[in-house]
Copies of this chain bind each other. A is one copy, B any other.
Amino acid sequence: MDVQQIAEQVHQKTQVETTVRDVEKVMSGLARTSHFWEIVCASQKPFNVVAEIVEAMRSRGLVNIGEQGDIILTPEGEKFLSDNRIFAKKDYTCPTCEGRGIWREALSELAQKFDEVTVDRPEAILDYDQGYVTTRTVVSRIALIAERGDLEGKKLLVLGDDDLLSIAAGLSGLPEEVVVLEIDDRLVEYINKKARELGLPVKAEKYDFRDKLPEQYVGRFDTFNTDPPETLEALDVCMTRGLTGLRGEGCAGYFGLTRTESSLKKWNLFQQMLVNKFNVAITDIIHEFNHYVNWDYLLGSIRDDYAFVQVKPRLNWYRSSMYRIEVLSGFEKRENKPMPCELYIDEEALIYKPDNK
């Protein structure tokens, strides 16, 4: 029995490419913590891959599952790690900025205001694969966009906004205009109501991003922000909509991409799409910039065949890397047309039960 065997078995079971180093990283996370969601977070591997690796270790007697679903290395497990020179994951994340590289104490004021204003925000629902980021994240994102020169005096397009980034942007006083296109009526209404009450230059409209971008928004914006569902098809559609909304060269797009729902193979394919087809440059990929607040529907929506998975998360484990892309000169608009696509389901996605397939 070796690491290579486990990698192959997990690859077969999940249909997600799984390397020896992937298995090592999950084990390295497991050497650091016994909590499933923290291992997912530490190893940055697709959810099902982590689950199957833990199960493979359990079935080989390398870990035991405690009563609370804790995953505990057995003496055999400890020996296995030591024999394979696998060490506990190190953590050097900056405590001030939570690893984002962006933070100033002055931003606390905006954070507090945002919390006060959005205290009655709509809860995340499964229908649209929702889940929103922490206040710290949303304010850091505003600061990032501002620092890169993409916010002050600019027009911002927000494609999907359960994060309420538009409200944070409005409260910052920096952008000239913010337009939110959002499928969820509750959010459209909520954002418009807040914008009205607070006199923010923000408006929201109902929009399904499989439809073409409303003509009045084509080529109007300096910056777009979105958090695409992570199938390649959905990424394609999201980038097409965002880029169609931009004025042209020098404009920028911001979005998150996870390692939890997307393997690096998918990252590579997506990056090919960005640099070849869309002809943009990727200027930033900031690891774990976006931290999501745990959402209520998680445990009901995922597999229930492994006890160690069905435990309540003890941390904001779901995170994504922040991408910034910039449009180059010679940018050609893509055709603005409806694009039907599967948004949420592929082998690597989180929302996965065997009967979903």
Cα distance A21–B248 in the bound complex, in angstroms? 10
Q: Is A51 engaged at the interface, CB distance under 8 Å to the other chain?
A: no
Tell which of A149, A265, A271 has the most Cβ of chain B within 10 Å.
Answer: A149
Q: Given A92-B144, A97-B97: A271 and B268 within 8 A (CB)?
A: no
Q: Type the 1/0 row for A265-287, where 1 means its CB is closer than 8 Å to any CB of B.
A: 10110011001100111111111
Q: Is A357 engaged at the interface, CB distance under 8 Å to the other chain?
A: no
Q: Is A329 engaged at the interface, CB distance under 8 Å to the other chain?
A: yes
**CB-nearest residue of chain B relative to A268?**
B281
**CB-nearest residue of chain B relative to A250?**
B21
Within 8 A of B (CB), among A64-87: 85-87
Tell which of A21, A100, A272, A328 has the most Cβ of chain B within 10 Å.
Answer: A21
- Which stretch (A102-110, A227-235, A236-244, A309-317) binds chain B? A102-110
Q: Is A219 engaged at the interface, CB distance under 8 Å to the other chain?
A: no
Find out whether the CB atom of B147 lies under 8 angstroms from the CB atom of A92: yes
Q: Is A96 engaged at the interface, CB distance under 8 Å to the other chain?
A: yes
Find out whether the CB atom of A102 lies under 8 angstroms from the CB atom of B95: no
Find out whether the CB atom of B147 lies under 8 angstroms from the CB atom of A93: yes
Q: Is A53 engaged at the interface, CB distance under 8 Å to the other chain?
A: no
**Cβ–Cβ < 8 Å partners of A149 in chain B:** 21, 24-25, 28, 89-90
**Cβ–Cβ < 8 Å partners of A95 in chain B:** 96, 104
Find out whether the CB atom of B285 lies under 8 angstroms from the CB atom of A283: yes
Q: Is A94 engaged at the interface, CB distance under 8 Å to the other chain?
A: yes
Q: Is A120 engaged at the interface, CB distance under 8 Å to the other chain?
A: no
**CB-nearest residue of chain B relative to A151?**
B90
Top 6 A-B residue pairs of the complex, sorted by shortest distance between their CB atoms: A21-B250, A94-B97, A96-B96, A92-B143, A264-B281, A99-B101
Q: Give 4 A-B pairs besides A92-B144, A268-B280, A282-B282 with Cβ atoms closer than 8 angstroms.
A: A87-B152, A92-B103, A284-B287, A285-B285
